[in-house]
């Protein structure tokens, strides 16, 4: 029996070591808050075993006061806050990109590398303020995170890491979390402490956090400098100039159908189509359109919840479908009027990130 | 001779009363800073004549101290700042949407309703602070702007207005400007005082500003509640439910070819293609791709300037074109990995806003 790290028995395990997986699509739309046992896991090394009594968080770099904090100090010295935030892997929906053209050595995520939780911890801003950091003065600085998990790339072993701009770090919603949905942070989600950066790709929400460094440049870590960069469709592993790729930060607008899968055969008549939508950065989901004919005609979907910044929106719509073949399509618009691109060819990139093309599901409806 | 309000003789005048127009495409790419005589004008009423000596700016609503400020007080009581910002009308490129399906009663803008200037004035944040407004406390409030210009819609006369969230207003880059590119603010641009809201559609940068109100809801003005809302392609004037449209705020990512026009006949060989690109909100232009074959193959363009928030990017690329027909295409990616949609059908909306489909120009190259 392989370890499931407390995950639901239906969990789709994409790799065992490091442990990576997520919930089946139908489970995703069951609730606004994703239960811990259904929350996707994206790790780059094995889950480290951490002795909480010996654990320290180091805060260093361009600070006036270096900090070395125990978990007790973190919990008692700073205000406890709870932030709802959706985390999504930049590789979510890579499977569709791979179908177009192979993407070797990367996980073939379906639509499951996303989840929404209530994160409890302390504001990164407060910890940085305790270290003497002045956000307004350091407008061009970066905050570098290093985790305790060990990984290997290009023949070298190192700890996972990444960074965000200080301007983002000083927003009150970036937190150092020690609880997830009211429970102690589970080991595969970063026990005892992780960063949660709402609106950004999951890769910046570094788990098993051990060191924070305020510095001039983005993280020098492989996963900031090479991986998690966004390249144009004409770039490949042979002609890549790494510096030309955009370091990913904020997520783009996306939406996915979870209620149906390619090849589903169902009864004609009223069909309820459901899924999730998400806007990145500080943008909200403004509208979700659903089509049953491959994008020729559209119906506006209902959003389940009031728009809440940094939270996905579950949506649903009833379509009256005649017997026959249908291509269901979903597309969302964010509050900056950014839309999703129609064709997957236009977003294909050789690392397989940020696929936010219209999501399409082919189904067959039959007379009752 | 019709009044040009100090504009360049080549100005494309889209309507005389109210005065609306912009520069020819080739003039747009002449310089990073758009000279005042080439800066586009979007007005909803005639240019008001303002007596500066009698002018007062009222600051009212949910404030602890009502203010009534003369221009001298505005200039002397608050710190003078200069902010570079691109302003773009939400209706820029409506002409392309109209070609697909008519959009009555709206201006048929080409690609000229955009410009980049250095704006000098005082921070809105400082004025609001002087009025006792606490941005953190009022996270859900709005800041309503009213101008001195009079307009008419649906048989009613009123002053132009609009609003932005207080959270945006408290950012240091939203300013009340009294100078444009080092000169006194010209009358068609809002003399003696206008708002400049970087990253937002131009409509929120209210000109001839006379009153600021801090309030619970967005502006009740026609141009906030009905116009400048974003609807889906299936909505039209007959079936519209105004509340379902998104109130426009942040701009979306866009790019335009200015060096060539549809039908241009030029020599084959190395052709330099040039234009502008812009990201909205607090996002930067991350990449600009140019195609000569309608979008089959792409070349990455050079950006003329370092990315500067709230500034457009002028770009250029040398393409080696054989004799024949070419469709030049440009598309940009912003720092949140948002891309432009390929087809204009997918962004068509009955008010004609936010067209950021790939910009296409058909040209013919001939042997030398």
CA atoms within 13 A on the CB side of B263: 0
Q: From residue A136, how far is each of A166, A170, B11, B98, B138 by CA, in Å?
A: 9, 9, 41, 45, 20
Q: What's phi and psi for B77, nearest 5 deg? A: -90, -15
- By the 8 A CB rule, do A316 and A273 touch? yes
Q: Which residues pair with B331 in a beta bridge?
A: B289
Question: How far is CA A266 from its chain centroid?
Answer: 32
Residue B331 lies in a domain: yes
Residue B220 shares a structural domain with residue B262: no
Residue B142 shares a structural domain with residue B65: yes
pLDDT at B307: 62
Model confidence at B102, in pLDDT bands (50, 70, 90)?
Answer: very high
- pLDDT tens, B103-133? 999 999 999 999 999 999 999 999 999 999 9
Model confidence at B272, in pLDDT bands (50, 70, 90)?
Answer: very high
The answer to whether residue A307 scores a pLDDT higher than 70 is no
Q: What's phi and psi for A100, nearest 5 deg? A: -80, -45
* Residues B321/B324/B327/B333 CA torsion (nearest 10 deg): -20
B286 interface with A at CB cutoff 8 Å: yes
CATH for B177: 3.90.420.10
- By the 8 A CB rule, do A291 and A329 touch? yes
pLDDT at A1: 53
Among A253, A297, A336, select the one facing B281 at the smallest CB separation.
A336
Q: Which of A51-55, A186-190, B300-304 shows the lowest mean pLDDT across its residues?
A: B300-304
B179 interface with A at CB cutoff 8 Å: no
Q: Is the peptide bond before B192 cis (omega within 30 degrees of 0)?
A: yes
pLDDT at A162: 98
pLDDT at A309: 82
CA proximity to A84, closest of A190, A193, A180, A195: A180
Residue B228 shares a structural domain with residue B346: no
ipTM of the complex: 0.93
From chain B, the residues in CB contact with A281 under 8 A are 281-283, 336
Residue B285 shares a structural domain with residue B359: yes
Q: From residue A301, how far is each of A314, A331, B132 by CA, in Å?
A: 10, 10, 42
Give the DSSP letter string of A285-347: EEEEEEESBTTSS-EEPEESS---TT--EEEEEEEEE-SEEEEEEEEEEETT--B--S-GGGT
Residue A2 lies in a domain: no
CA–CA dist B289, B273 (Å, integer): 11
A342 interface with B at CB cutoff 8 Å: yes
Residue A142 shares a structural domain with residue A226: yes
Residue A50 shares a structural domain with residue A153: yes
A333 interface with B at CB cutoff 8 Å: yes
| CB interface of A with B, residues 256-285, below 8 Å | 280-283
CA–CA dist B297, B357 (Å, integer): 17
Last residue of a domain, one of A247, A281, A310: A247
Q: What's phi and psi for A68, nearest 5 deg? A: -135, 100
Residue B2 lies in a domain: no
CA–CA dist A93, A166 (Å, integer): 30
b/e map A309-319, b = 16+ CB within 10 Å? bbbbbbbbbeb
Among A233, A248, A335, select the one facing B337 at the smallest CB separation.
A248
User: How far away is chain B from the Cα of A92, in angstroms, using its nearest Cα?
Assistant: 14
- By the 8 A CB rule, do A107 and A91 touch? yes
Residue B3 lies in a domain: no
Model confidence at A304, in pLDDT bands (50, 70, 90)?
Answer: confident
A337 interface with B at CB cutoff 8 Å: yes
For the record, the structure tokens of A360 come out as 């399409």
Contacts of residue A235, defined as CB under 8 A and 6 or more positions apart, other chains included, come to: A244, A245, A349, A350
Model confidence at A308, in pLDDT bands (50, 70, 90)?
Answer: confident
pLDDT at B308: 76
- pLDDT tens, A36-93? 999 999 999 999 999 999 999 999 999 999 999 999 999 999 999 999 999 999 999 9
Residue B56 shares a structural domain with residue B146: yes
| Overall average pLDDT of the B33-41 stretch | 97
Q: From residue A211, how far is each of A123, A148, A159, A161, A189 by CA, in Å?
A: 15, 9, 11, 9, 17
CA–CA dist B181, B113 (Å, integer): 18
Best mutation target among A338, A345, A352 (most B Cβ atoms within 10 Å) is A338
CA–CA dist A186, A47 (Å, integer): 10
Residue bearing tokens 């983002």: A168
CA–CA dist B305, A163 (Å, integer): 25
Structural domain including A79 reads: 12-247
Mean pLDDT for chain B? Answer: 95
CA–CA dist A82, A116 (Å, integer): 13
Residues in chain A: 368
Number of Cβ within a 10 Å radius of residue B309:
16
Residue B6 lies in a domain: no
Using CA of residue A339, residue A342, residue A345, residue A346, what is the dihedral sign? negative
- By the 8 A CB rule, do B333 and A230 touch? yes
Among A250, A283, A333, select the one facing B335 at the smallest CB separation.
A250
Q: What's phi and psi for B287, nearest 5 deg? A: -160, 145
Last residue of a domain, one of A179, A212, A247: A247
The answer to whether residue B189 scores a pLDDT higher than 90 is yes
Q: Which residue of B has its CA nearest to A247?
A: B335
- By the 8 A CB rule, do B81 and B234 touch? no
Q: What's phi and psi for A55, nearest 5 deg? A: -65, 135
B343 interface with A at CB cutoff 8 Å: yes
CA proximity to B22, closest of B99, B108, B119, B100: B108
Q: Which residues pair with A13 in a beta bridge?
A: A21
Residue A315 shares a structural domain with residue A180: no
| Overall average pLDDT of the A242-267 stretch | 96
Residue A267 shares a structural domain with residue A348: yes
CA–CA dist A74, A64 (Å, integer): 19
For the record, the structure tokens of B324 come out as 């024949």
Going by their DSSP bridges, the two strands A313-321 and A302-303 should be labelled as antiparallel
Count the domains in chain B.
2
Is A232 close to B342, i.e. CB distance below 8 A? no
A341 interface with B at CB cutoff 8 Å: yes
Number of Cβ within a 10 Å radius of residue B257:
22
CA proximity to B110, closest of B30, B27, B47: B27
- By the 8 A CB rule, do B128 and B59 touch? yes
- By the 8 A CB rule, do B361 and B292 touch? no
Residue A95 shares a structural domain with residue A182: yes
- pLDDT tens, B205-260? 999 999 999 999 999 999 999 999 999 888 999 999 999 899 999 999 999 999 99
Residue B27 shares a structural domain with residue B166: yes
Q: Which residue of B has its CA nearest to A346?
A: B342
Q: From residue B278, how far is each of A108, A184, A208, A285, B346 by CA, in Å?
A: 33, 44, 38, 21, 20
Q: What's phi and psi for A153, nearest 5 deg? A: -145, 145
Residue B323 lies in a domain: yes
| Overall average pLDDT of the B9-26 stretch | 95
Using CA of residue B253, residue A249, residue A225, residue A358, what is the dihedral sign? negative
Q: From residue B82, how far is each of A203, A244, B79, B190, B201 by CA, in Å?
A: 36, 31, 10, 17, 20
From chain B, the residues in CB contact with A346 under 8 A are 295, 339, 342
Going by their DSSP bridges, the two strands A183-184 and A194-196 should be labelled as unpaired
Q: Is the peptide bond before B194 cis (omega within 30 degrees of 0)?
A: no
Residue A171 lies in a domain: yes
- By the 8 A CB rule, do B196 and B213 touch? no
Helices then strands, counting H and E runs in chain A, come out as 6, 23
Q: From residue A330, how far is each of A219, A293, A301, A341 by CA, in Å?
A: 36, 11, 9, 11
- pLDDT tens, A1-33? 577 899 999 999 999 999 999 999 999 999 999
Residues in chain B: 368
From chain B, the residues in CB contact with A300 under 8 A are 232, 234, 244
Q: Is residue A271 within a helix (H) or strand (E), and if so which, with residue range? A: strand A269-278
Residue A33 shares a structural domain with residue A177: yes
What SS3 state is found at B227?
coil
For the record, the structure tokens of B241 come out as 């439910």
* Residues A256/A259/A264/A266 CA torsion (nearest 10 deg): -140
Residue A119 lies in a domain: yes
pLDDT at B1: 54
Last residue of a domain, one of A221, A247, A273: A247
CATH for A340: 2.60.40.650
CA–CA dist A337, B349 (Å, integer): 12
């Amino acid at each position: 029996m392989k370890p499931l790290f407390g995950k639901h028995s239906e969990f789709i395990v994409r790799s065992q070591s490091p442990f990576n997986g997520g919930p089946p699509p139908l489970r995703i739309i069951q609730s606004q808050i994703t239960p811990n046992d259904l929350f996707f896991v994206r790790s780059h090394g094995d889950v480290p075993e951490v002795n909480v009594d010996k654990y320290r968080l180091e805060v260093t770099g361009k600070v006036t006061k270096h900090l070395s904090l125990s978990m007790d100090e973190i919990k008692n010295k700073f205000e406890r806050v709870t932030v709802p935030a959706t985390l999504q892997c930049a590789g979510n929906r890579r499977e569709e990109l791979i179908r177009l053209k192979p993407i070797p050595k990367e996980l073939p995520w379906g639509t499951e590398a996303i989840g929404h939780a209530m994160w409890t911890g302390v504001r990164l801003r407060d910890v940085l303020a305790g270290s003497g950091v002045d956000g307004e003065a350091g407008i061009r600085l970066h905050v570098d995170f290093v985790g305790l998990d060990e990984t290997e790339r290009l023949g070298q072993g190192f700890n996972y890491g990444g960074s965000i701009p200080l301007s983002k770090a000083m927003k009150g919603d970036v937190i150092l979390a020690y609880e997830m949905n009211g429970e102690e942070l589970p080991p595969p989600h970063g026990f005892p402490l992780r960063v949660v950066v709402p609106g950004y790709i999951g890769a910046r929400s570094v788990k098993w956090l051990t060191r924070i460094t305020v510095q001039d440049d983005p993280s020098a870590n492989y996963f900031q400098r090479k991986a998690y960069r966004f390249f144009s469709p004409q770039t490949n592993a042979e002609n890549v100039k790494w510096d030309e790729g955009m370091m990913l930060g904020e997520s783009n607008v996306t939406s996915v159908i979870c209620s149906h899968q390619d090849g589903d055969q169902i009864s004609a008549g009223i069909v309820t189509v459901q899924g999730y939508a998400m806007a990145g950065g500080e943008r909200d989901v403004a509208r979700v359109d659903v089509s049953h004919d491959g994008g020729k005609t559209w119906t506006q979907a209902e959003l389940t919840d009031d728009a809440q910044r940094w939270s996905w929106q579950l949506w649903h719509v009833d379509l009256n479908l005649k017997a026959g073949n249908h291509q269901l399509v979903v597309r969302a618009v964010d509050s900056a009027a950014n839309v999703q691109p129609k064709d997957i060819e236009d977003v294909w990139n050789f690392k397989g990130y940020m696929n936010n093309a219209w999501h399409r599901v082919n189904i067959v409806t039959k007379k009752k």
